[in-house]
């Protein structure tokens, strides 16, 4: 059996679902533009530069979830999918996913973006397994805090290995393992798989990929 891992934002999507979710709430006047838009953009720049403090970002990103009932959030998310996400799916994303599914590979999307935002996107892409940052919930409602280890940088490796252990698997269960990503933040996991692939990479990842003879592909 082989393992195929996919980053989501700026890899299978032409854009960042975390950033777009906050912008969607701002455009709907659910979040105050003056208070949130500049911070949202600044956190996104930090992420792209590899300097993001994930806990500060999650405090910013998850807190609005605690201000509204889950039923209302689900309604907004459905509208978010129609207005924002459907047009952001990279043209080559489904073909790449289908190639691995047809080969019988275990396919997992693994992303730093929280589970609430990403789970419907992953279902749309036809992948059964998702490892994402988990928002804390109590009685079915979000608390505004993170649960467990954020699925970010080295945390992606930890969360994946926890998932594999829960499913009675290890790295040795797989003959080959792919990871497709655009981001320097994913170097810890890219360095763990047997077949790392840079997808429309940022400059740091592109340089690393070229130095290490990793494939560089364009899904756009």
Which whole-number Å values give the CA distances from 152 to 30, 116, 165, 216, in the listed order?
27, 16, 19, 22
* pLDDT on residue 9: 97
CATH of the domain at 147: 3.40.50.1000
- 7 catalytically annotated: yes
For residue 196 the two structure tokens come to 């790392």
* pLDDT on residue 47: 87
pLDDT per residue as tens, the chain (220 positions): 999 999 999 999 999 999 999 999 999 999 988 888 888 889 889 988 889 898 888 888 899 999 999 999 999 999 999 999 999 999 999 999 999 999 999 999 999 999 999 999 999 999 999 999 999 999 999 999 999 999 999 999 999 999 999 999 999 999 999 999 999 999 999 999 999 999 999 999 999 999 999 999 999 9
For residue 167 the two structure tokens come to 């499913």
Question: How do strand 3-6 and strand 106-114 relate by DSSP bridges?
Answer: parallel
- 9 catalytically annotated: yes
* pLDDT on residue 71: 96
| Separation of CA 213 from chain center | 25
Among residues 9, 18, 186, 202, the one annotated as catalytic is 9
- Give the domain range for residue 179: 1-220
* pLDDT on residue 164: 98
pLDDT in tens, 19-64: 999 999 999 999 988 888 888 889 889 988 889 898 888 888 899 9
The total of structural domains in the chain comes to: 1
Q: What is the largest CA-CA distance in the chain?
A: 51
Give burial (CB, 10 Å; 0-12/13-18/19+) of 119: middle
First-to-last alpha carbon distance for the chain, in angstroms, is: 29
For CA atoms 215, 46, 146, 118, the dihedral sign is negative
**CA 204 – CA 94 distance, rounded (Å):** 26
Angle of CA points 179, 81, 144, to nearest 5°: 80
pLDDT in tens, 85-96: 999 999 999 999
* pLDDT on residue 35: 81
For residue 175 the two structure tokens come to 């003959």
**CA 90 – CA 10 distance, rounded (Å):** 9
Question: What backbone phi and psi angles, to 5 degrees, belong to 175?
Answer: -70, -45
| Separation of CA 76 from chain center | 19
């Amino acid at each position: 059996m082989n393992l195929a891992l996919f980053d989501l934002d700026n890899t299978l999507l032409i854009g960042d679902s975390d950033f777009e979710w906050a912008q969607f709430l701002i455009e709907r006047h659910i979040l105050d533009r003056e208070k949130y838009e500049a911070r949202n953009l600044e956190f996104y720049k930090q992420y792209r530069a590899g300097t993001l403090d994930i806990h500060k970002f999650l405090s910013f990103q998850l807190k609005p979830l605690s201000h509204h009932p889950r039923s209302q959030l689900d309604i907004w998310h459905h509208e978010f999918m129609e207005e924002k996400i459907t047009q952001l799916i990279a043209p080559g994303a489904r073909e790449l996913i289908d190639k691995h599914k047809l080969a019988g590979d275990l396919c997992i999307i693994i992303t730093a973006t929280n589970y609430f935002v990403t789970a419907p996107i992953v279902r749309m892409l036809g992948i059964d397994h998702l490892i994402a940052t988990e928002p804390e919930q109590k009685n079915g409602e979000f608390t505004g805090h993170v649960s467990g280890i954020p699925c970010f940088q080295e945390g992606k490796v930890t969360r994946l290995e926890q998932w594999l252990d829960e499913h009675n698997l290890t790295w040795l269960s797989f003959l080959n393992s792919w990871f497709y990503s655009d981001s320097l933040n994913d170097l810890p996991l890219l360095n763990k798989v047997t077949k790392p692939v840079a997808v429309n990479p940022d400059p740091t990842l592109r340089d690393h990929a070229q130095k290490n003879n990793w494939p560089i592909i364009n899904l756009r």
